[in-house]
Amino acid sequence: MRIVFKTSHDADIRLWKHGMQLSWYLLLLALAAALPLLLDDFMLGEATNVLVWAIAGMGLMLLVGHAGQASLGHAAWLALGAYANTLLQTKAGMPFLLSLPLAAVISGLVAALVTLPIMRLHGIYLAIATLALSVLTEDIIILAEPWTGGVSGLFAPDIEIFGVNFNRYANPHGLYWLVLAITVLVTLGYANLLRAPTGRAFVAVRDSEVSARAMGVHVARTKTLAFALSAAVTAIAGALMGHMAGVFNNETFNIVISIYLLMMIVIGGLGAIHGAFLGALVIGFLPQAIALLRSALAGALGVGSITIPGLETAVFGAILAAFLLFEPRGIYGRWIVIRTWFELFPFYRRDMFRRQRSYLKTERMR
Amino acid sequence: MDALQLLVSGLANGCIYGLIALGFVLIYKATEAVNFAQGDMMMLGAFLTLGLNNEAWMGLPFWVSVPVAIAGMAALGYLLDALLLRRMFGQSQIAVVILTIALGFILRFVAGVIWGHEPQSLESPIAGMDLRIGGIVLGLDEIAVIIVTLLLTGVLWLFFARTRLGLAMQATSQNQLAAYYMGIPVKRIHSLTWALAGAMAAIAGILFATKGAIDPNSGLLGIKAFAAAVIGGFGSLPGALLGGLIVGLVEPFAARYIAAGFSQIMPYLILLLILVFRPDGILAQVRQKKV
């Protein structure tokens, strides 16, 4: 059992609670940086994919996990990021280093503008509005064909920074390191935000809008900011997804992707940055796991390859349903419980992490 | 006369949206949960009827397969609530939404495995027949959809106004605690509401498959029906039907008089406008939440 002895006020808002935690994270970072030396090119591509999903997950986590606003339409921001980034490069001739942050800024601004009118909505109504926005985005992409290429899509050029090419196949190591660097930057920014007044305001709004207002938080401004920041981070992931895919159209970022994103962070664990990464790991390696299981099963039964369309989505849905029913805190929440059990070894009590169930008071008058 | 044909086909579509939306609203009113799998239940109900009725599958008579499919979907709705959704009681609304989305994925997969991914249509007795009045040609299937919806609305109204079970459902949706004190078995009422929503989904599915082809992804129609429910006023049964009719009517007219692409967009544009200017829908039932 570790007792953290705090000797200054800064200890309360430091990024790490104690030196051991810092060294664990540095070790993890070193391992992540050394990954290209350990994996073959195919697995490295998957790892890059996981990192990109993790960035998108962090974008949504900021909104859902910390600001408490549901969004069923985050694929719209992925799409906006991908299209803005690619168009800035091809039409405006900007370098990647400029177009990526600019795409994020554009998405953030659009998100702020778009969410201003729907900010009054709560809970499920907000979710519906975002869902409608996401469906509309798909159609707008088709209607804006001169820019977006409509159904035939858009080709994303290779990432180039100072003459170095980061093609997915020609330079997988470079691309991985680039994505890793962006991931680390986003993660640090996110962690930093959470210990700043803005991040605290997000959490206050999540826990109770009324009390947040009473504490002097400008609820509407905080929600809009949460939406904008979330959209900006998600747009970065979208831009990277565009580059990874090479070509994308209106169906690349459809409503199912939005739902996948939401499911991902629920499985990972809402309300913690770790959850985004754990969820991304699940979503990234689930297809491989299913493929392995499928070939093992086919071998055991002595039949040829079994292909069932839609199996992955169904397995994913089943895993998600199991998590919601049996472990709503997600993977990271379960890990916290296990860790606490060991930290307090003989003194862990069964109901320590029991969640207060909030029974909905009906919102109806009659 | 073009407009009249658009009107009838729009009304027929709108009735189907309205019936799915009715399922959303029934469950929302009773349990405060939003069932995103309603569209997929509609799809499953259609496939169940199709599997029982069509020659390629079991080839039972139409009037046998329809009640069996409706009963089957009602049983599925009851079991979904009794086994899964009841455990989520007291968790956040959005958790229930995500769970039902996951259930929808699973239902879609099951339907795909059993009945395949090819679009199929139901071989009903009235399939492909036309009604000619003067110079107008109206599909008999579309007329049937409108008539069945009208009948169903009447039956539902009688059910909620006159039967003990209907009154108990109303009481539960108005105040769970008070209903419980009055000796109403609230949990069973919840499950029965899900069963009713399942039966409604089956009827909507049957009508949908009579009118056109159905495939496992037809469940995504539920999103549009959901928009319809919100436009009409989430939590109001007449509102759900009204919203469905609005969406159903706007689509063909937008396609005809504005541009083809707009028929997809208009329902959601209306939804956003409604959400911004009248968030509780046209026939609002929700007031400001008290702390």
Please give the domain boundaries of chain A with CATH numbers for all domains.
Answer: 37-347 (1.10.3470)
Do B216 and A310 lie within an 8 Å CB cutoff? yes
- CB within 8 Å: A128 and B93: no
Sorting pLDDT into bands at 50, 70 and 90, what band is A236? very high
Q: Is the pLDDT of residue A226 over 80?
A: yes
Q: Residue A287 — very low, low, confident or very high, per pLDDT cuts 50/70/90?
A: confident
Residues of A in contact with B287 (CB under 8 A): 363-365
Query: How many residue pairs from chains A and B have C-beta atoms closer than 8 A?
Result: 138
| Chain B neighbors of A140, CB-CB under 8 A | 265
pLDDT at A302: 66
- Quote the pLDDT of residue B41: 92
pLDDT, average across residues A31-40: 86
- List the one residue out of A101, A326, A112 whose CA is nearest residue B87: A326
**Is the model more confident about B6 or about A214?**
A214
Q: Kindly give the residue spans of alpha helices, DSSP state H, lying in B80-163.
A: 93-115, 140-162
For A181, phi then psi, to 5°, come to -60, -45
Domain boundaries, given as residue ranges, for chain B = 14-219
| B190 in reach of chain A (CB within 8 A) | no
What is the pLDDT averaged over residues A8-25? 83
Half-sphere exposure for B250 (CA within 13 Å, toward CB): 22
A79's tokens: 């799409």
Cβ(B106)–Cβ(A312) under 8 Å? no
Cβ-defined contacts of A93-98 (< 8 Å, 24+): A95/A160, A95/A161, A96/A159, A96/A160, A96/A161, A97/A161
Portion of chain A with pLDDT greater than 90, in percent: 22
* Total residue length of chain B: 291
CB proximity B64 to A under 8 Å: no
A220 or B132, which is more confident: A220
Chain A interface includes B118 (CB < 8 A): no
A101 band by pLDDT with thresholds 50, 70 and 90: very high
Q: Is the pLDDT of residue B249 over 50?
A: yes
Disruptive mutation site among A325, A326, A356, A358 for chain B (greatest number of B CBs within 10 Å): A325
| Contacts for B232 with CB less than 8 Å, ≥ 6 apart | B21, B238, B239, B240, B241, B242, B243, B244, B246, B281, B282, B283
Query: Which amino acid is present at B118?
Result: E
Which region among A184-198, A276-290, B107-121, B259-273 has the lowest average model confidence (pLDDT)? B259-273
- The band of B284, judged by pLDDT with boundaries at 50, 70 and 90, is low
pLDDT tens digits, one per residue of A315-334: 888 888 888 888 888 888 88
Helices (H) and strands (E) in chain A, counts: 15, 4
Q: Is the ipTM of this complex over 0.90?
A: no
Residue A366 has a pLDDT of 32
Q: Provide the pLDDT confidence category of residue A278 given band limits of 50, 70 and 90.
A: very high
For A266, the closest of B98, B109, B227 (CB atoms) is: B98
- Which of A24-38, A161-175, B102-116 shows the lowest mean pLDDT across its residues? A161-175
Q: Is pLDDT above 60 for B288? A: no
What's the average model confidence in pLDDT over B118-133?
Answer: 75
Residue A355 is predicted with a pLDDT of 66
Interface mutation target, options B36, B92, B278, chain A, most CBs of A under 10 Å: B92
Q: Looking at chain A, which residue has its C-alpha nearest residue B174?
A: A366
Residue A324 is nearest to which of B98, B261, B290, comparing CB atoms?
Answer: B98
User: For position B77, what pLDDT does the model report?
Assistant: 93
Task: List the single range of A236-250, A264-278, B131-145 with lowest mean pLDDT.
Answer: B131-145
pLDDT confidence of B285, banded at 50, 70, 90?
low
* pLDDT tens digits, A42-55: 888 888 999 999 99
Is the CB of A263 less than 8 angstroms away from the CB of B102?
yes
Residue A326's region, left for phi above 0, alpha for psi from -120 to 50, else beta, is: alpha
Q: Which residue of B has its CA nearest to A131?
A: B223
The DSSP line for A138-171 is: HHHHHHTHHHH-GGG-EEPPPPEETTEE--TTT-
pLDDT at site B75: 95
Q: How far apart are CA B246 and CA B255, in angstroms?
A: 14
CA distances A185 to A19, A188, A330, B16, Å, are 21, 5, 25, 49
Please give the structure tokens belonging to residue B197.
Answer: 């929503």
- How high is the pLDDT of residue A329? 83
Its sign, for the CA torsion A253, A189, A228, A66, is positive
State the pLDDT at residue B128. 65
Greater confidence (A151 vs B118) lies with B118
Residue B291 is predicted with a pLDDT of 41
Work out the minimum CA distance from A124 to partner chain B, whole angstroms.
7
Least trusted range by pLDDT, from A173-187, B45-59, B154-168, B277-291? B277-291
The percent of residues in chain B predicted with pLDDT above 70, rounded, is 94
| pLDDT of B127 higher than 70 | no
Q: What average pLDDT does this structure show over A106-135?
A: 82
The amino acid at A107: S
Q: Quick one: CA torsion of A10, A16, A19, A24, rounded to 10 degrees?
A: -170
Torsion region of A80: left, alpha or beta (phi above 0 gives left; psi -120 to 50 gives alpha): alpha
Backbone angles phi, psi at B280, to 5 degrees: -90, 5
Going by pLDDT thresholds of 50, 70 and 90, the confidence category of residue A106 is very high
Mean pLDDT of A63-82: 89
